[in-house]
Amino acid sequence: VFAYIVRRLALMLVTLVGISIVIFFLLRIVPGNIVDILFAAAGYVDPADKANLQRELGIDQPLVLQYLHWIIGLLHGDLGYSYVSEKPALDEILPRIPITARLAALALLFSASVGIPLGVISAVYQGSRLDYFLRVVSLSGLSLPSFWLGLLILMASVSLFGSIPIFNPNPQTFGEMFSTYVLPSIAVGFRSSALTMRITRSSMLEVLRQDYIRTARAKGASEASVNFQHALKNAILPVITVIGIEAAFLIGGLIVTETVFNIPGVARYLVEAIRWRDYPIVQNLVMFIALIVVLANFTVDMLYAVFDPRIRYTD
């Protein structure tokens, strides 16, 4: 078990180093930098001012030096300064993380708590009207873009309640908290709940046809016990994989949802930072997201090992 964990951790480290190199150099390949953008916004360019600013920001140095400077800083906990706000990158990023984390956790919770039970129900009642209805719902979940769903929620809210659930940094009541996080998390989690439901359904259908399920029923086990204790436990592995992958891809949905609901989280900030070519912010945020994704994959691997003990021996 120890060797398995060490192997996984070593792989994580290599992945993170690779990502740091890719993100650093990809950012520099994209045409235009912060200085170009600042002068474009001012509608003029003075070569002397431009050179001064490049020197001030350190982007006139060779790329390898810039990379090493960043990595050494990162290892010392110094993330540098935002080019735009001129504040420490850490001060800009840290307050935004809990906001996005809450949103992402709620979206995943929504996805799992809605997707798994509905997937089980859909599989158990295969071919029934309920099954067809749930399949239509899941298909719509996969087809509706989250920005569209988000806008619909906003418009419905204004039209029905005369209010709009845009971000409130200091929610005073449960209702405010609910509207601040729950509605956006539904908008972002609806798609992955649909995917979770479909995977649960197909995985359950496969398991429900196994001999041991027939045996369980023959032994007189209740339907609930058969479905949830015997079938779901064995059908859950692909579902965990999908939830892990969805956690990684959630950032895409969050960018849109944070924009539509005006939530000042990490995802929207990342887009703004890319727009401004605010390298210290983009690099550190992408590294942070990469770390989350790698950790999510690591967790999934560990859960695999927990749910299927054969994995730790064969890997």
- x/- contact string, 47-66, with other proteins (CB under 8 A)? --x--xx--x----------
Measured from the Cβ of residue 219, the count of other Cβ atoms closer than 10 Å reads: 9
Q: Does 27 bind other proteins (CB under 8 A)?
A: no
Task: Determine, following the binding rule CB under 8 A, whether residue 272 of this chain makes contact with other proteins.
Answer: yes
Number of residues that bind other proteins (CB under 8 A): 45
| Sequence-separated (6 or more) residues with CB below 8 Å from residue 242 | 195, 196, 199
Q: Is residue 158 near other proteins by the rule CB under 8 A?
A: yes
Residue 115 DSSP one-character state? H
* Minimum CB distance to other proteins, residue 44 (Å): 4
Token pair for residue 204? 């359950």
Q: Is 144 in the site for other proteins (CB under 8 A)?
A: no
Neighbouring residues of 190: CB distance < 8 A, sequence distance ≥ 6: 110, 141, 144, 146, 149
CA dihedral 197, 200, 201, 204 (to 10 degrees): -160
Answer yes or no whether residue 42 interacts with other proteins by CB under 8 A: yes
Q: At its nearest, how many Å lie between other proteins and the CB of residue 35?
A: 9
38 binds other proteins (CB under 8 A): yes
CB of 119 to other proteins, least distance (A): 33
Residue 264 binds to other proteins (criterion: CB under 8 A): yes
Least distance (Å) between residue 174 CB and other proteins: 19
The closest alpha carbon to 230, from 213, 252, 249, belongs to 213
Is 301 a binding residue for other proteins by CB under 8 A? The answer is no
Is 213 a binding residue for other proteins by CB under 8 A? The answer is: no
59 Cβ contact partners less than 8 Å away, ≥ 6 residues apart: 33, 34, 35, 66, 279
Q: Is 275 among the residues that bind other proteins (CB under 8 A)? A: yes
- Cβ(115)–Cβ(193) under 8 Å? yes
Minimum distance from CB of 103 to other proteins (Å)? 15
Pick the closer one to other proteins by CB: 161 or 212: 161
Contact between 252 and other proteins by CB under 8 A: the answer reads no
* Closer residue to other proteins in complex, CB, 31/220: 31
Dist CA 304 CA 238 (whole Å): 10
- Does residue 288 interact with other proteins by CB under 8 A? no
- Residue whose C-alpha is closest to residue 16's, from 300, 289, 299: 289
Q: Which residues contact 244 (CB under 8 A, 6 or more apart)?
A: 296, 297, 299, 300
Residue with tokens 């309920």: 130
- Give how far the C-alpha of residue 203 lies from the chain's centroid of Cα atoms, to the nearest Å: 24
* Residue of 164, 177, 295, 306 that binds other proteins (CB under 8 A): 164
**Residue 198 interacts with other proteins (CB under 8 A)?**
no
Question: Where along the sequence are the contacts to other proteins (CB under 8 A)?
Answer: 31-33, 36-46, 49, 52-53, 56, 82, 84-87, 92, 151, 154-155, 157-158, 162-164, 166, 169, 259-262, 264, 268-269, 272, 275-277
